[in-house]
Amino acid sequence: DIQMTQSPSSLSASVGDRVTITCQASQDISNYLNWYQQKPGKAPKLLIYDASNLETGVPSRFSGSGSGTDFTFTISSLQPEDIATYYCQQYDNLLWITFGQGTRLEIK
Amino acid sequence: QLQLQESGSGLVKPSQTLSLTCAVSGGSISSGGYSWSWIRQPPGKGLEWIGYIYHSGSTYYNPSLKSRVTISVDRSKNQFSLKLSSVTAADTAVYYCARMVATPPRSRFDYWGQGTLVTVSS
């Protein structure tokens, strides 16, 4: 199975800050990576698919990049409503889909 | 707007079978290009993919759960179901159903149910 290592596990930042989360795959997964936002008590929400494509309706301050084994998720200017846990998810092998451990984002 | 809603028993005894149903509204479960999935999240922990069923009826399960999982579709009711046998406390989790855009090799979970907590306890 493909392991996803997400970092950091938690992050504290100020409103307006640029925030970056990374996800590393244990093997080459091309750009078969998605990013989700999960707010407390809610289902995850798709933000970025295929590593860099913004899901319809998602604010443009969210972005993703990377290919192969190293991926980055960025919030260009942190807003109070962005407080959540963020997960990467690989689907290189549709026979075994895996998620990263999650990054909890807090306001400083 | 597509909506998914989980239902089923919130309390299951150890060694018994967990059964959940996901009702789909606002779209047909038979539409091509999609599969229908189950994902779970133990309290305070991360997400774990359980499995999915294609519109064709083919199923794919997480190898770590494969021996205990069955996912099926009832097209007449526009819903799909999860059965997980021989449950233990480790199966206590919020269970989500989700639609997976499935145009291989591309895939993503674009619609999710609200989730339902299942507790395994005697």
pLDDT at B51: 96
| pLDDT tens per residue across all 122 residues of chain B | 999 999 999 999 999 999 999 999 999 999 888 999 999 999 999 999 999 998 788 999 999 999 999 999 999 999 999 999 999 999 999 999 999 998 878 899 999 999 999 999 99
Residue from A10, A46, A87, A97 to probe the interface with B (highest B Cβ count within 10 Å):
A97
Which of A51-65, A90-104, B64-78, B83-97 is predicted least confidently?
Answer: A90-104
List CB contacts (< 8 A) between B96 and chain A: 43-44
Min distance B26 CA to chain A CA atoms (Å): 18
Query: What is the residue type of A33?
Result: L
List CB contacts (< 8 A) between A100 and chain B: 46
List CB contacts (< 8 A) between B112 and chain A: 43-45
Residue A54's Cβ-count burial label (10 Å; 0-12, 13-18, 19+) is middle
Query: How far is C-alpha A16 from the geometric centre of its chain's CA atoms?
Result: 18
pLDDT at B87: 98
Judge contact between A10 and A106, C-beta under 8 A: yes
- Residue in B47, B101, B107 nearest the CB of A44: B47
